[in-house]
Copies of this chain bind each other. A is one copy, B any other.
Amino acid sequence: MNRLYHVALSPFCRKVRLTLAEKRIEVELVEEKYWDPSPDFLRRNPAGKVPILKIDNRFLPESQAICEYIDEIHPTPALMPRDREARYEVRRLCAWFDDKFNAEVTRKVMGERVWKKIMKKGYPDSKTIKEGLSAIKYHLDYMGWLLDQRRWLAGDQMTLADFAAAAHLSCLDYISDVDWNRQAAVKDWYAKIKSRPAFRSLLQDQLPGLPPAPQYAELDF
């Protein structure tokens, strides 16, 4: 059976989980605590990162490469548009979230509030958290601006870009760090994506010792 080595609140792993679920590709989820790696971890991925998808007896790391590959081998429902300009836009926005949003928000807020605790690496640094919570405003506003012109982030079709964004925001929502009242269009968009069957498995995640915020799994939030 296919397998996904992952950790629960990783946005990169979540993007892959959403993609697999949307395509109805079943995988067994295997938790890989990369900070305390199993002996085979580096053999599966010499980069030492999750996610890693085991499919057809090969091990595939790198979330964006995985998602595009899955979209190519299982083209329906399509998560990449056919039009080249539209495809560019999807890739630009995936990079926006996985590079910029990740560095400015996810890594700071989740890094301090969640990962330090789970990895037992000391106490959260409140200055870093503050920077992250300040930066998220710009990102929500940018998303709001996009969604005032488009049904989905990259255009009128749901794509990988929506999954990339939802993957990050859902991690932050687990600890209640998204202000859904800031941008009505963003809240509507998240409500749409959160109610998809593909999202269900994410909403069931539970970290030991760190239960999700009450609204996390609610479709009416």
Let me know if A84 and B69 touch, CB within 8 A.
Answer: yes
Let me know if B62 and A91 touch, CB within 8 A.
Answer: yes
Let me know if B91 and A60 touch, CB within 8 A.
Answer: no
Q: How many copies does the complex hold?
A: 2
> Shortest beta-carbon distance, A128 to chain B, in Å?
17
CA of A68 to CA of B92, assembled, Å: 11
Let me know if B88 and A69 touch, CB within 8 A.
Answer: yes
CA of A37 to CA of B73, assembled, Å: 42
How many chain A residues touch the partner (CB < 8 A)?
25
> Shortest beta-carbon distance, A135 to chain B, in Å?
12
Q: Which residues of B contact A73 (CB under 8 A)?
A: 84
Q: Does A192 contact B (CB under 8 A)?
A: no
Let me know if B87 and A72 touch, CB within 8 A.
Answer: yes
- Which B-chain residue is minimally distant from A47 (CB atoms)? B100
- Which B-chain residue is minimally distant from A142 (CB atoms)? B46
> Shortest beta-carbon distance, A145 to chain B, in Å?
9
Q: Does A49 contact B (CB under 8 A)?
A: yes
CA of A169 to CA of B21, assembled, Å: 38
Q: Does A61 contact B (CB under 8 A)?
A: yes
Most buried by B among A60, A65, A73, A94: A65
6 closest A-B pairs by CB? A65-B91, A69-B88, A65-B92, A62-B95, A62-B92, A72-B84
Chain A residues in the interface with B (C-beta under 8 A) = 46-47, 49, 60-62, 64-66, 68-69, 72-73, 84-85, 87-88, 91-92, 94-96, 99-100, 142
